A and B are shown apart, each in its own frame.
Chain A
């Protein structure tokens, strides 16, 4: 839906872990926030992040395309079908608490979308792999995340070919639900069995590239990092810990009142 776009913004130049840390922190913070005002601040933070990555125009459309249907559903589920008391909003009677709930939930999703779509738009996959290799992230993790993305389009093409081939042989895609379920076999089996047959070939290819040697791989062009970025990432961690400590503090009252007093 959205991919990396070259640019000269601070986020493009940053170490790949920095935008990722900011977006992940935002994800954790929005779930700790409970009021529409706090959620509004985080939505704003997501938009500011997109502006910092010079990607607001690129990110806003997919973010809103994903967020608006959810916001509408939340408005129906909580605002229109929510509990009493209600107030008139034009021709509609909207639940007070339900509307607040819908704003909080919808705001969370919107903030997450802006933050992570900005990461997708500004973090180059190649630089991320280099950063992961430099930080000695296991080959397995890097391989799974990056290599699978190259396999998916290939398998999609194969699925489309199988679909056409089976239709040529007389497979009907319509009909009753049971007939459609029965049609899954001729479509899924060739796709999966064909892919299973290639496993040995791929194992051999990886083995030839020396990934079983157990040696540490060298990053050819590791992205530069700085003390300031290191500090930003740790500030993100502290913010998340602080926000969640504040969120769970009332729960301590239920577990142990003395513990709650000690925390205060």
Chain B
């Protein structure tokens, strides 16, 4: 057992999920999209292995993102990764990732959940000043008279809705395109 995971394969998959979370920002930046996709690896691990492995992937990503960027003040947002891991594992269990038409709405709902979890952390711990883009939206909303807690919640959810919908759509595409010889090694895909 490694970190409560069942096998060495799970551990290697968790490592891969963490790397995906940390690397995809580069791809997104090239496309100038207002999303992060920093939880795609967590969602993929949740779908392939399960919630425990996904939680390990999410929390490790948060720690390593802090190590790589130097911004350790973002560590409390690890709670959001736990929410994403548990939700994505549940969604995979009920077969949400089999079709895009079920994956996209489920991703939208996760956006609401993740944004709803991130907003209180952003408001109470950081006074609404977190990532640049989100804070710009918060500031604009505040400038037109929106109360700060509402502005923080709208800004957090706005970004997360798009981010998680895209992430769920991509995970659905990835799972549908896994070659058959690889799919046979993952019980979830072999079903």
Contacts and interface: CB of A to CB of B under 8 A. Distances in A.
B139 A148 contact: no
Given A180-B33, A192-B44, A143 B11 contact: yes
A74 B127 CA distance: 7
B14 interface: yes
Interface stretch (A47-55, A111-119, A217-225, A238-246): A111-119
20 contacts: A2-B70, A27-B72, A73-B135, A113-B70, A113-B71, A140-B5, A152-B19, A152-B22, A155-B20, A159-B23, A174-B32, A180-B32, A183-B31, A187-B30, A188-B170, A193-B174, A196-B16, A200-B9, A200-B185, A203-B8
A105 B60 contact: no
B173 A148 contact: no
A66 B131 CA distance: 11
Interface of B: 1-3, 5, 8-9, 11-16, 18-20, 22-24, 26-28, 30-33, 37, 40, 44, 56, 60, 63-64, 66-73, 75, 125-129, 132, 135, 138-139, 142-143, 148, 166, 170, 173-174, 177-179, 182, 185
B68 A1 contact: yes
B139 A76 contact: yes
Contacts of B126: 70, 105, 109
A61 to B, nearest CB: 10
A155 B18 CA distance: 11
B12 A202 contact: yes
Contacts of B26: 156, 159-160
Contacts of B174: 188-189, 192-193
A149 B61 CA distance: 10
Contacts of A184: 27-28, 31, 33, 37, 166, 170
Contact of A144 (B18, B75, B177): B18
Contact of A207 (B8, B44, B173): B8
A163 interface: yes
Interface string A101-135: 11001001100110111001000000000000000
Contacts of B33: 177, 180-181, 184
DSSP majority for the B interface? helix
Contacts of A193: 174, 177-179
Of the listed residues B2, B18, B73, the one surrounded by the most CB atoms of chain A closer than 10 A to its CB is B73
A138 to B, nearest CB: 6
A116 B32 CA distance: 30
Interface size class of A (residues with CB under 8 A): 35 or more
A253 interface: no
A77 B128 CA distance: 8
Contact of B3 (A27, A115, A138, A180): A138
A41 interface: no
Contacts of A138: 2-3
A10 interface: no
B173 A145 contact: no
Contacts of A168: none
Contacts of B3: 138, 140-141, 144
Of the listed residues A69, A70, A115, A183, the one surrounded by the most CB atoms of chain B closer than 10 A to its CB is A70
List of 10 A-B pairs having minimum Cβ-Cβ separation, nearest first: A140-B2, A116-B72, A140-B3, A105-B127, A73-B129, A1-B70, A155-B23, A180-B31, A109-B73, A151-B19
A145 B64 contact: yes
Of the listed residues B32, B56, B166, B174, the one surrounded by the most CB atoms of chain A closer than 10 A to its CB is B174
